[in-house]
Chain A
Amino acid sequence: MTTLTGRQRLANVSYRATPYVYISPFFILFAVVGLFPLVYTAWVSLHEWSLIGGDGGWVGLDNYAAVLGDRKFWIALRNSLSIFLLSSVPQLIFALLIASALDTNLRGKTFWRMGVLLPYVVAPVAVALIFGQLFADQFGAINNLLSVFGIGPVGWHVDPLASHVAIATMVNFRWTGYNSLVLLAAMQAIPRDYYEAAVIDGAGRIRQFLSVTIPGIRPTLIFVIITSTIGGLQIFDEPRLYDQFGLGGADSQWLTLTLYLYNLGWDRFDFGKASAVAWLLFLVIAIFGLINLLASRRISTEGTK
């Protein structure tokens, strides 16, 4: 057995350690900006914690009990789910249709592709300001337009469902184009031979779309569904800027979970309860992400059979 010199031993260590050093930036970054806040939030949620006074002592699960017993939490959960469904579902359907249209032999391809991304570049604050005027209850452009067709003014800031539709419209305006481009990139990776073979087999455009395109972009589709689930349940900017007070409406019509969390933290300065909401929101998103993953897997595997 040969003994290694110190120099050789060092070289050996550095040989083994190098790969870990190379991949470490991500994990260090994740630990600092991801894991630590997550754990610290859990710690705060078990304490009475005010913004200025700081730690006011251990209270166990009291904050969770208080939040779960608050009527507003359940309204916020309902609103978040409702806005999430009203935005994600139409958004994905439209994104799929737009992407497959862009995937064909269009004239001026780049122009159209850049065009669908344009709304994404607009700042959410600007979107909210513009749509706020469109959806104003009395002098809004949309109610004016509806009245031309004899449809009575819709209370965009009164009726919960109407307010959800209005907010979902802002979300869809911003994100449909972005998702279209992601799906388009996936569609372009499908070998053209598949389509040729499908045409020879006598498949029409709809058949091609369902049997070649959809299964071909399965992983990307799952990615888009998961990210839009997370985004949809975390929705904040649009409801916060939907009215002048940012409190989610007189009867919490468009109070979402993140807005509820924000108001607990920054209006009432109650960080303990706000952290409890953060963790509950985390659980809700995890559950819905899982359901989506299972459902979307199934749908797309069935398509290939």
Chain B
Amino acid sequence: MRTTLRARTALGIATITGVALIASGCASGDDNGGGEGGDVTLTIATFNDFGYTDELLQEYMDENPGVTIVHNRAATSNDARSNFFQKLGAGSGLADVEAIEVDWLPELMQYSDKLYDLSDASVEGRWLDWKAAAATDADGRLVGYGTDIGPMGVCYRSDLFAEAGLPTDRAEVAKLLEGDWDTYFSVGHDYVAKTGKAWFDSAGATYQGMSNQFTNFYEKNDGTVIATENPDVENTFRTVLEESADLSAKLGQWSDDWFGALSSGDYATMLCPGWMLGVISGNAADTTGWDIADVFPGGGGNWGGSYLTVPAQGKNTEAAKKFAAWLTAPEQQIKAFQNAGTFPSQLEAYTDEALTGAVNEYFNNAPVGEILINRANAVNPEPPFKGPKYFQINDAAQQALTRVETGQQSIDDSWAQFVSEVNALG
């Protein structure tokens, strides 16, 4: 999941409430060791919207008398990351259950011994293999329970497709876009020639979709940085920018302009992880025409997703593990999907009718459950390797793309600056 700027204010308020709740929770005294029978207060820290509503948490409290759950929600994944690493370093202060995002999971895996071992016979085989593998360290300890994943389809504006004389039905659109990235771009050129409008939102978002299809993009499995010499990186970088000169609306993702354009129809398609559906319908509520096609250029792709971890510094690790296991069980994850659109990473959920039959009214009644299950199955089973430097290298790449899109630099200059910035990371 990613940050939406708009959500900050509301979530800021939620955070303050959460902190107040923790303070009052402490005041009531919870100095027990989390043993059986005693009253336990469990804190859980998440960010953005995991779909863990008060009702869902109340369900657990009803099933487990004596357990009180306090939910603390941070505004953004970046805020959560700073907070998490700060307190992990300090050795105290973390919640009993801490949510972390897949993009900074690799940084955390370096310190996996600071997390409680969650491996348990009862949860074996619950997740997609690659989802569980990413959170398993060299010693075979599972340190995170998978929550959601971000299988990607293509969202498109059927009204704009109709104006351009392109098919509007989602099955036909899927057929039209079936193929590699060249197909996607060439349909785009066709669209631009007919309408004069842009094909996709930004070079950065498209680059994200393309780069997530490689297994070793910026780093080798041993952590060696190859971002500057890997031809795949430079090729992707240059291809996206050359195509975006004509095809991109040049709207930096998550900028105010980008949010505004969700309803203005400046571009026709967008790469769409499951959680993006909520971002679109939430920010362009009055716009009709958005639809989603069961297709993704160059195969499948995954963008984002999160885990629940239990820091070893906590006092109630065993109780917290039980709670995290319950929250990430297929039944609860399906409820979270219904609450916030976070697509499950649990195998069993994919045969559950609540998911297979899920329909999104806003997206022209698209069978989103079925489509996203197909998209999840199309994801490369060798997931992209993201090492400890991934976060910083990718930020530098995104900035390099923006420099070209805003006309500040040529592709060559911007690439050269990216190379020097990556080298400076040391």
Chain A: residues with CB nearer than 8 A to chain B? Answer: 51-54, 70, 125-126, 129, 132-133, 136-140, 155, 157-158, 243-247, 249-251, 266-269
CA distance A70 to B5 in the complex (A): 30
CA distance A246 to B78 in the complex (A): 10
Indicate which residue in A133, A139, A249 contacts B264 across the interface (CB closer than 8 Å).
A139
The answer to whether A251 touches B257, judged by C-beta atoms less than 8 angstroms apart, is: no
Cβ-based interface call for B12 (8 A): yes
Which residues from A are CB-within-8-Å of B409?
251
The answer to whether B85 touches A52, judged by C-beta atoms less than 8 angstroms apart, is: yes
21 contacts across the A-B interface (CB closer than 8 A): A52-B89, A53-B89, A129-B8, A129-B9, A132-B256, A136-B256, A136-B257, A138-B257, A155-B406, A158-B406, A243-B252, A244-B3, A244-B254, A245-B254, A245-B395, A246-B78, A249-B399, A250-B402, A250-B406, A251-B399, A251-B403
**B interface, size bucket:** 35 or more
The answer to whether B408 touches A244, judged by C-beta atoms less than 8 angstroms apart, is: no
Indicate which residue in A51, A137, A139, A140 contacts B85 across the interface (CB closer than 8 Å).
A51
Indicate which residue in B111, B256, B392, B400 contacts A133 across the interface (CB closer than 8 Å).
B256
CA distance A133 to B6 in the complex (A): 11
Which residues from B are CB-within-8-Å of A70?
424
Which residues from A are CB-within-8-Å of B406?
155, 157-158, 250
Max count, chain A CB within 10 A of own CB: residue among B256, B264, B403, B406: B256
Q: Main SS of the interface on chain A?
A: loop
The answer to whether B402 touches A244, judged by C-beta atoms less than 8 angstroms apart, is: no
The answer to whether A51 touches B89, judged by C-beta atoms less than 8 angstroms apart, is: yes
Cβ-based interface call for B22 (8 A): no
The answer to whether B399 touches A250, judged by C-beta atoms less than 8 angstroms apart, is: yes
The answer to whether B257 touches A247, judged by C-beta atoms less than 8 angstroms apart, is: no
- How many residue pairs, one in A and one in B, have C-beta atoms under 8 Å apart? 79
Since A125-B12, A137-B257 are in contact, a sample of 4 more A-B pairs with Cβ atoms closer than 8 Å, ordered by chain A residue number, is A129-B5, A136-B255, A139-B264, A250-B403
The answer to whether B89 touches A244, judged by C-beta atoms less than 8 angstroms apart, is: no
The answer to whether A139 touches B12, judged by C-beta atoms less than 8 angstroms apart, is: no
Cβ-based interface call for B365 (8 A): no
B240 CB to nearest A CB, Å = 15
Which residues from B are CB-within-8-Å of A136?
255-257, 260
CA distance A267 to B85 in the complex (A): 10
Which residues from B are CB-within-8-Å of A249?
399
The residue on A at minimum CB distance from B391 is: A267
CA distance A133 to B5 in the complex (A): 11
CA distance A247 to B400 in the complex (A): 13
CA distance A246 to B82 in the complex (A): 13
